[in-house]
Structure 1
Amino acid sequence: MKSSQFNTPRQVKQYDMSNKAGRRWDVFCRIVDNFGDIGVCWRLSQQLAHEHHLQVRLFIDNLAIASKIIPSLNAELPSQTINSVEICTWPNADEDIKPADVALETFSCELPATYLEAMQASTLWVNLEYLSAEPWVADFHARGSNNTKITRHFFFPGFTDATGGLIRETNIFQKNQKLAKSPPLQCDFLQSLNLVHDDALKISLFSYPHAPIPSLLNAMAESNQRIHCYVPISSILPKVAKYFGVDSSQLNTIQTGEKFSQKNLNVTILPFLSQSDYDKLLAICDINFVRGEDSWIRAIWAAKPFIWQPYLQTENTHITKLDAFLDLFYSSCDETARYSVSEAHSAWVADNITIPVWQNYLNNLPTIKRFTLQQANQLAEQTDLAAKLVIFLQKLSVKV
């Protein structure tokens, strides 16, 4: 990717709407893919509240799952305020809720019918779409649909200035870089997880369960260098345990802190990490396997080599999304390194990472590392998603 494709760097400004129309925002989140939807919504809601001084209500349809991401959340309470965000249960059909100035519908989750009916003409309605690097995104970003009494605007995140940008809190990139460059800080974090800091290659593994996990673990075990692989508790644990010969009757009993070894590979099972700790894990690892949307973007801000697994879709739509991202992000990368990245991603989504494919990726890792840092640094100079949303809603409020 040429630097011009990420457009001209600029100073990112905080936009304060506290004294303008659109101060109160309602964010709606249906949890479809376990943690991805709520992960994005929770990060965005906090950023809107803290950096843009907005009153934010976050409506969630499954508080039990959300509590994994928000540990202090009480799933039994219909409403509670955490970190300056009011978190509410998804409205029932008979609930009378006064709509806010802005209704932010995330990922086409569909607003509750009673809420939609109560919305006034002055309510600003935005649907935040899923992230994609496909070229058509820029053409559809910020368009409106007039199928109802209120215009519904479609906001597309993306990697260029012609889109809605990427979710990124102030200074997250700089904080990650500080950690990545400080062995003492890394050591402190690893010790907090009962891990040892040494010179082995560090890899984090977070994926969907249909990924070719056994072939990846085998390729790691057969690689020419020692590897520490950190696996936060998730649905892939049975596959990890099975690879190491755990009896089938015990596959679902793997606990935090358990360790497995095979040749050059050491695997440690980590607890389900807070968003802050997961960011730190990504920043100290040499390679990060990530999935969906939330962890994908966090891997970019970690500025370390990563292999992304898109959410599985029909008609191979996920492959189209993957190819579009690889073409955009790595277009100006060294040809040999770029091929190794593409080969590794293709193998990961095609159900088999062979030893030669993995070793070729490792052979090109220094080049991939330098390039990833360069690209992440350029993206961090763009206006972020929350700021672009606020600017967009400011302009809309003037027209209403």
Structure 2
Amino acid sequence: MKWDIFCSVVDNFGDIGVTWRLARQLVAEHGLHVRLWVDDVAAFARICPQASPDASEQLQLGVEVRHWHSQWQPVEPANVVIEAFACELPATYVRAITESKRRILWLNLEYLSAEDWVSGCHGLPSLQSGGVQKYFFFPGFTESTGGLLREAGLLTQRQDFVANEQARQQFLRSIGVEPIAGARLMSLFTYESAGLSSWLDVLEQDSQCTQLLVPEGRILADLGRWLAVDDLKAGDSHRRGALQINILPFIEQRQYDQLLWCCDFNAVRGEDSFLRAQWAGRPLLWHIYQQEEGAHWEKMQAFLSLYCRDLSPLAGAAITSFWQAWSAQESVAEPWQAVLLYWDELSAHAEKWCEQQAEYQDLATTLVQFQQNWL
């Protein structure tokens, strides 16, 4: 059974991060032949270091990775075609789908959302020109959606890793971090933020030491301004008051998972890191991608309403205020102090949320089941 997944890289690494994980899982756990079509192979090579950023086609971890560019060469469509995040397929490929004598399942894999309307739209068909149906497939946080991307045994791997202090210490040292005994360990991988300096001010003056691990990314310019340091780079280390900052190299997906597992709190961005932070079972900040006319606010609030349902009102208000202030580019000093007041409750809730979401079927499996039912 052959599957084609098309990915147009929009948000640096969120789109390719999701589709690369999905492609690997479909191959490894479901025995499928998967072609991953990517329009920015260089972005793919950042999260898959062994990949060539210039190759037009290559085999990586069982996935056939193809460069998708303007000079499209016609190919025979696969049995299942996934149009990830509403990217526009090549016109000749669409024509081949409509003219094929084989039944081809065409899916539009949508962005992850907790909004109420998602359940009602999941799995609905849309008639395309040529009489072919395209189905909307929505990942989500309820059993009436397509579920979440989660590899088999992921939570067990995380639990084993967290329980093994030596493994955690070795991993941190392998990425250039010397752990500080007793420090609160946190990761920072967000978009640019005007509120960052207010957060760092609080951490600098805190009574407890914080070790902040910052992978290379868009937040480095703001961080450099706060430190009064130009051109921060991987391997740099800076100490101010109770705050120790370590700049990390850009790391591949499995290492990023382990980084999240090591930390007590994770500030993340984009769909891939947002979901992986949830599987880490730790309190988190999601810096949602800003959309026109404030559409991102509804999406963020929908998740917070669901996520905070089992929290006490005060703890829910604390994490909500922190997220809102960060995305509004406002000071997060007071909201962060509120988060610290409810730290134990938020930590226990993050683990419980992770376990609850793991009770639902994972995204790759629901995709395969949808295709089998369609047949």
Structures share a fold, TM > 0.5? yes
**2:148 match:** 166
**Equivalent position of 1:4 in the other structure:** none
- Whole-angstrom CA distance in 2 between matches of 1:104 and 1:194: 38
Q: Determine the C-alpha separation between the residues in 1 that align with 2:69 and 2:166.
A: 47
- Secondary structure of the 1:293 match is helix
Match of 2:173?
A: 191
> Where does residue 314 of structure 1 map in the other structure?
292
The equivalent position to 2:185 in structure 1, one of 202, 205, 214, is 202
1:352-398 deviation digits (Å, cap 9, x = unpaired) = 2343321221121111000110110111121000000000011112x
How much is the aligned-residue C-alpha RMSD, in angstroms? 1.3
Report what 1:274 is aligned to: 252
Q: Does the residue aligned with 2:258 lie in a helix, a strand or coil?
A: helix
For 1:208 and 1:145, locate their aligned partners in 2 and report how far apart those are by CA, in whole Å: 34
Find the residue that maps to 1:196 and give its secondary structure.
Answer: coil
Relative to the length of structure 1, the TM-score reads 0.90
Give the Cα separation in 1 of the matches to 2:332 and 2:125. Answer: 46
Q: Which amino acid aligns with 1:154?
A: F
Greater relative CO, 1 or 2 (CA 8 Å, sep 6+)? 1
Question: How far did 1:154 drift?
Answer: 0.5
SS in 2 for 1:353: coil
CA distance in 1, matches of 2:227, 2:194: 17
Query: Which of 133, 141, 154 matches 2:136?
Result: 154
Q: Which runs of 4+ in 1 moved over 6 A?
A: none
Aligned: 1:351 with 2:351: no
Pairwise CA distance, 1:96: 2.0
- Give the Cα–Cα distance (whole angstroms) in 2 for the partners of residues 275 and 357 of structure 1: 30
Gaps of 5+ in 2: none
Aligned match of 1:226 in 209, 234, 241?
209
Any conservation in 2 of the 1:129–1:156 contact (CA below 8 Å)? Answer: yes
Alignment of 1:9-88 (within 5 A): 23-88=1-66
- Note the residue ranges of structure 1 that are not aligned, 5 or more in a row: 1-22
Q: Which residue in the other structure is 2:280 paired with?
A: 302
Partner Cα separation in structure 2 for residue 224 and residue 316 of structure 1: 37
SS at match of 2:192: coil
Residue of structure 2 equivalent to 1:214: 197
1:128 maps to: 109
Q: 1:11 corresponds to which residue? A: none
Identical aligned pairs, as a percentage? 38
Determine if contact 1:28/1:58 at 8 Å carries over to the other structure: yes
> Structure 1 residue 337: deviation in Å?
1.4
What is the Cα deviation at residue 342 of structure 1?
0.9
Q: Which amino acid aligns with 2:9?
A: I
Count how many residue pairs are aligned between Structure 1 and Structure 2: 370
TM-score computed with the length of structure 2 as normaliser: 0.96
Deviations 1:228-273 (A, max 9, x none): 0000001211111110112xxxx3x322110112211111000001
Structure 1 residue 59: Cα displacement = 0.4
Give yes or no for the alignment of 1:142 onto 2:127.
Answer: no
Determine the structure 2 residue equivalent to 1:289.
267
**Paired letter, 2:214:** V
Deviations 1:88-132 (A, max 9, x none): 010545512111111110000011111111112511100100000
Post-superposition shift, 1:70? 1.3
User: C-alpha displacement at 1:310, in angstroms?
Assistant: 1.1
The answer to whether the 8 Å contact 2:109/2:138 transfers is: yes
**Aligned residues of 1:93 and 1:114 also touching (Cα < 8 A):** no
